[in-house]
């Protein structure tokens, strides 16, 4: 089935290492023929991303901190100079102070609330606007969310509020950009063993709980998330926008744990 992404070019934001969700998505898109650019945050991550990008035939890497307008402008300037236009963008970026991803949500500080929402939600709006300027023939924008957005998940705290805002932003962006044939969707995987995932208090217990209780009795995989991204970025997803697509083994349909786990 190779070739679903042949002729399409896009930017993948948020690869930190080979366990990153963004890397699962990049690998799947590249396997279907997509041409990729990568943004990474800072030199240390750049060293890790470079060989990964090379392994899928890309030497197009840009250092971007989404709180820094100059680096964003440089990134989209480089995309315009090199490609002129682009077809898709993957936003797999989130951040909160680790100290506030444990304990009671009520203790969220104003500073971390603002920082988390700016990095984890506003940045998607920002890059959507910049990417749309390079999509005269339509395109596909994807972000990553988590079910803690609408169901209380211990320790997820301010990130749950940030993901709720991100999901709402996904719908508003979908409506704004629909007339330009630009689709905007979010993928909502279950817990994954990544750097960001490990920062959340009780991450291992959450991982085990989801695996033991999800209807499929399995956690998401990078391959499954990548496959969903291929659907959304390829022409097969051409009539899907404003959606939050769960890739969580069905965990979100549950009202309570499985009988064997009570
Ligand atoms: P990850 O640590 O591999 O990726 C997070 C990325 O965010 C890193 O590359 C990091 O450099 C980047 N980032 C953070 N602040 C940034 C900034 N200011 N500027 C630029 N980049 C910045 O972890 P991941 O789990 O692959 O996370 C990717 C996305 O998936 C996040 O939105 C996360 O919330 C979401 N997600 C993760 C899980 C999980 O369990 N790991 C589940 C559902 C959704």
Q: Which domains does the chain have, with CATH numbers?
A: 9-209+220-252 (3.40.50.720)
pLDDT tens column, 142-157? 999 999 999 999 999 9
CB atoms within 10 A of CB 120: 26
Q: How confident is the model at residue 54 (pLDDT cuts 50, 70, 90)?
A: very high
Question: Is the pLDDT assigned to residue 252 strictly greater than 60?
Answer: yes
Ligand 1 in contact with 92 (CB < 6 A)?
yes
Ligand 1 in contact with 148 (CB < 6 A)?
no
Query: Which of 104, 194, 217, 106 shows the shortest CA–CA distance to 146?
Result: 194
C-alpha span between 189 and 250 (Å, rounded): 10
pLDDT tens column, 67-92? 999 999 999 999 999 999 999 999 99
**Res 238: pLDDT:** 97
Is there a contact between 242 and 171 (Cβ–Cβ < 8 Å)? yes
Is there a contact between 165 and 222 (Cβ–Cβ < 8 Å)? no
Residues 6+ apart with CB under 8 A from 183: 138, 139, 140, 141, 174, 177, 232, 237, 238, 240, 241
Residue whose CA lies nearest to ligand 1 atom number 13 = 93
Taking all residues of the chain, what is their mean pLDDT, rounded to a whole number? 97
Q: How confident is the model at residue 114 (pLDDT cuts 50, 70, 90)?
A: very high
Which three-class secondary structure state does DSSP give residue 244? strand
Question: Is the pLDDT assigned to residue 1 strictly greater than 80?
Answer: no
Question: Is the pLDDT assigned to residue 241 strictly greater than 90?
Answer: yes
Ligand 1 in contact with 195 (CB < 6 A)?
yes
Residues above pLDDT 90, as percent of the chain: 99
DSSP per-residue letters across 171-199: HHHHHHHGGGTEEEEEEEE----SHHHHT
Q: 40, 156, 231, 251: which one is catalytic?
A: 156
User: On the CB side of 254, how many CA atoms lie within 13 Å of its CA?
Assistant: 19
**Res 2: pLDDT:** 63
C-alpha span between 169 and 180 (Å, rounded): 17
Q: 146, 172, 231, 251: which one is catalytic?
A: 146
C-alpha span between 86 and 231 (Å, rounded): 17
pTM of the full structure: 0.98
Mean pLDDT of 167-196: 98
């Amino acid at each position: 089935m190779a070739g679903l992404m042949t002729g399409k070019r896009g930017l993948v934001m948020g690869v930190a290492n080979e366990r990153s969700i963004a890397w699962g998505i990049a690998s799947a898109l590249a396997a279907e023929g997509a041409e990729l650019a990568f943004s990474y945050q800072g030199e240390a991550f750049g060293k890790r991303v470079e060989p990964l990008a090379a392994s899928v035939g890309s030497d197009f890497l840009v250092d971007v901190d989404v709180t820094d307008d100059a680096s964003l402008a440089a990134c989209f300037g480089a995309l315009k100079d090199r490609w002129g236009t682009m077809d898709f963008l993957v936003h797999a970026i989130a951040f909160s102070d680790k100290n506030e991803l444990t304990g009671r949500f009520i203790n969220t500080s104003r500073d971390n609330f603002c920082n988390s929402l700016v990095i984890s939600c506003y940045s998607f709006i920002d890059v959507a606007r910049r990417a749309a300027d390079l999509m005269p023939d339509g395109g596909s924008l994807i972000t990553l969310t988590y079910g803690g957005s609408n169901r209380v998940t211990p320790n997820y705290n301010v990130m749950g509020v940030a993901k709720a805002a991100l999901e709402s932003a996904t719908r508003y962006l979908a409506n704004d950009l629909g007339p330009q044939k630009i689709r905007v969707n979010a993928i909502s995987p279950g817990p994954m063993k990544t750097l960001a995932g490990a920062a959340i208090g009780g991450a291992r217990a959450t991982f085990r709980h989801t695996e033991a209780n999800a209807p499929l009795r399995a956690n998401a995989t990078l391959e499954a998330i990548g496959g969903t991204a291929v659907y959304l970025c390829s022409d097969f997803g051409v009539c899907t926008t404003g959606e939050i697509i769960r890739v969580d083994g069905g965990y979100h349909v549950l009202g309570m744990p499985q009988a064997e786990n009570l």
